Structure 1
Amino acid sequence: MKANAMVARVAAGLLAATASASAWADSEPVRWQLNMPEGVTRTAENAYDMHMLMLWICVAIGLVVFGAMGYSMYKFRHSKGAKPDVDFTHSTKLEIIWTVVPVLILVIMAVPATARLMEQYDTKGSDMTVKVTGYQWMWRYEIVGEDVNFISRLDRESDRIRQSGETPTAEANPHYLRDVDRVLVLPTETKIRFVITSDDVIHAWWVPALGWKQDAIPGVINDAWTEIRTPGTYRGVCAELCGKDHGFMPIVVKAVPRAEYEAWLTAQKAGDLAEADRIAATSVVPAKAGGEG
């Protein structure tokens, strides 16, 4: 019996340890998917576009470099009588070419990357602000100006399983360690500013489908923004090692149309948590590439 309990605890521990690494399993529903997800915000799309631009530039460079290597190895192989040019020292033209060309490539890559990076940090013109505070080991969400303030922590079922020594299964517990007791509900098609800090140690608020990660540092206010285009449920984790329960502070964001968000907000402000939870649990239009409906 002790051996079985030990195996169960090890299995649960492995699942917890890999929770952060596989945090966007919900955002990658396709098996054997090799590329990064496109996400559901402009920030995420910018990151994906830059990733693809860099990828194809690197592919082109690789084809040229390895193609030249292969040609040279074949054309000037020793078995065909090729002899090294011992008198060759350098070529000014070649040195200019292999200096100028990489500089141009870097400029081509840097200009759009810089523009998108500046856009990522431009929080001006936001329609609402959400304050996120990290704790060991939970998150506090405050809808600024709306008198909505609540704690979101690991859901009770996941917490029960991890402490009982049971072995969770994908069928019975599809979101083990990635569900919370209180979901952060946000409206779609709305520019939302996040201000992020911590009350104790350094945490990091990360929802991959939104396209960014922001550190939560005690005494420091970091900000970021998002505008979710597709309704759905998007999951994330704390991405900064913050203590023994680091793997047990997931993030769940549910994006809904404005009318549903207003209904949830009204229930929250009225203290009707049952109604707020019912709205948060109601299924929405399935999300594409970056979340779960």
Structure 2
Amino acid sequence: MFKIRGMGRLGTLLAGALPLLAPGSASAGWDALNMPAGVTPLSGEVYNLHMLILWICVAIGIVVFGTMIYSIIRFRKRNGAEAAQFHESTTVEIIWTIIPFLILVGMAIPATGTLIDMEDASGSDITVKVTGYQWNWHYEYMGEGVDFYSNLATPVAEIQNQAAKSEDYLLEVDNRLVVPTDTKIHFLITAEDVLHSWWVPDLGMKKDAIPGFVNEMWARIDEPGVYRGQCTELCGRGHAFMPVVVEAKPPEEYRQWLEEQKQESAQAEAGSPEQVAQTEN
């Protein structure tokens, strides 16, 4: 009996891959590896472009590597065989120039349309200014008189491994960014101190937050829900502790929430009744 070197490692890899091939698990495994389709029209376009280009690359890989493997096997060295002698072929060179050109054009046309849509924030219904700080986010609803800071809400005990980590470990905040569904939202993104980057995967976009400069992006969220992201620009020791949490509500619920925030802001500016009474005395 003999043992082929490396078979033990190969068996381990195959054993690890088998759960992904099981019915029901394959979809979950693919979703974990693939980019999310998201919940906005733009994120859907980006996902479709990603899948289109992925399958084009897969097809090219099959043709190229299939040809290589076939050639290696079919035309392997034999006793007495003589290699064919040939040089350039103008026809072949034209073919392998035109085909990649057409493939690139076919990918560029839909990609260009999506890139143009990404930059078109005109006709927005609401505008939210996002400012990055070390290490939290500040949200201001322009023209509404509502603004607040959003800080990490993960308990210190979890961070220090003194308690079991929750499902949303390092991805929960004290104040979520609440926005309405079916509404075009214009985001103005900047920073106060160092470079940050505001990213929510389900929105399909991310933008750098740069001190002294304002970046723009927009989103129209189709489905109510809570969507989580993170700062993706290394910004110091607290970089891992500034998550982004966006909560999308139906327009009626959003307007109710916004009115509550306005009332709370007005009360905070005017002072509580107890403080007013103490001042008068």
Q: Same fold (TM over 0.5)?
A: yes
The corresponding residue for 1:83 is 82
User: Does residue 179 of the first structure (1) align with residue 179 of the second (2)?
Assistant: no
Cα deviations across residues 224-278 of structure 1 (Å, max 9, x unaligned)? 00000000000010010000000000111000100110011000000079xxxxx
> Cα distance, 1:51 vs. partner?
0.5
Q: Distance in 2 between matches of 1:31 and 1:73?
A: 34
How has the CA–CA distance of structure 1 residues 143 and 81 changed in structure 2, closer, same or farther, with 3 Å as cutoff? farther
Secondary structure (helix, strand or coil) at the match of 2:52 reads helix
Q: Distance in 2 between matches of 1:208 and 1:81?
A: 60
> Cα distance, 1:67 vs. partner?
1.7
Q: Distance in 2 between matches of 1:221 and 1:100?
A: 42
Identity among equivalent positions (%) equals: 54
User: Does residue 158 of the first structure (1) align with residue 151 of the second (2)?
Assistant: no
* Contact 1:168-1:176 at 8 Å conserved across structures: no
Q: Distance in 1 between matches of 2:30 and 2:95?
A: 40
Q: How does 1:191-230 map to 2 (within 5 A)?
A: 191-230=184-223
The corresponding residue for 2:19 is none
> Cα distance, 1:179 vs. partner?
0.4
* Contact 2:146-2:265 at 8 Å conserved across structures: no
> Cα distance, 1:168 vs. partner?
2.9
Q: Distance in 2 between matches of 1:213 and 1:81?
A: 62
Q: How does 1:111-130 map to 2 (within 5 A)?
A: 111-130=109-128
How has the CA–CA distance of structure 1 residues 186 and 81 changed in structure 2, closer, same or farther, with 3 Å as cutoff? farther
Cα deviations across residues 44-76 of structure 1 (Å, max 9, x unaligned)? 101100001001111111111112112212221
Structure 2, unpaired ranges of 5+: 1-26, 267-281
> Cα distance, 1:121 vs. partner?
1.1
Q: Distance in 2 between matches of 1:50 and 1:100?
A: 22
> Cα distance, 1:120 vs. partner?
0.9
- So what's the TM-score if we normalise by structure 1? 0.78
* Contact 1:178-1:252 at 8 Å conserved across structures: yes
Q: Distance in 1 between matches of 2:199 and 2:36?
A: 15
Residue type at the aligned position of 1:161: E
Q: Distance in 2 between matches of 1:145 and 1:205?
A: 22
Count, aligned residues: 239
How has the CA–CA distance of structure 1 residues 31 and 66 changed in structure 2, closer, same or farther, with 3 Å as cutoff? closer
> Cα distance, 1:92 vs. partner?
0.8
Residue type at the aligned position of 2:253: E
Residue type at the aligned position of 2:158: I
Secondary structure (helix, strand or coil) at the match of 2:152 reads coil
Question: Which of the two has higher C-alpha Rg?
Answer: 2
How has the CA–CA distance of structure 1 residues 90 and 56 changed in structure 2, closer, same or farther, with 3 Å as cutoff? same
Q: Distance in 2 between matches of 1:81 and 1:102?
A: 38
The corresponding residue for 1:21 is none
Cα deviations across residues 7-58 of structure 1 (Å, max 9, x unaligned)? xxxxxxxxxxxxxxxxxxxxxx945633221100011101100001001111
The corresponding residue for 1:66 is 65
* Contact 2:225-2:247 at 8 Å conserved across structures: yes
Q: Which of residues 236, 240, 257 is equivalent to 2:250?
A: 257
How has the CA–CA distance of structure 1 residues 79 and 153 changed in structure 2, closer, same or farther, with 3 Å as cutoff? same
My pick for the range that moved more, 198-207 or 96-105, is 96-105
Secondary structure (helix, strand or coil) at the match of 1:149 reads strand
Residue type at the aligned position of 1:141: Y
Q: Distance in 1 between matches of 2:199 and 2:215?
A: 13
Cα deviations across residues 178-211 of structure 1 (Å, max 9, x unaligned)? 1000011100000000000000000000000000
How has the CA–CA distance of structure 1 residues 221 and 73 changed in structure 2, closer, same or farther, with 3 Å as cutoff? same
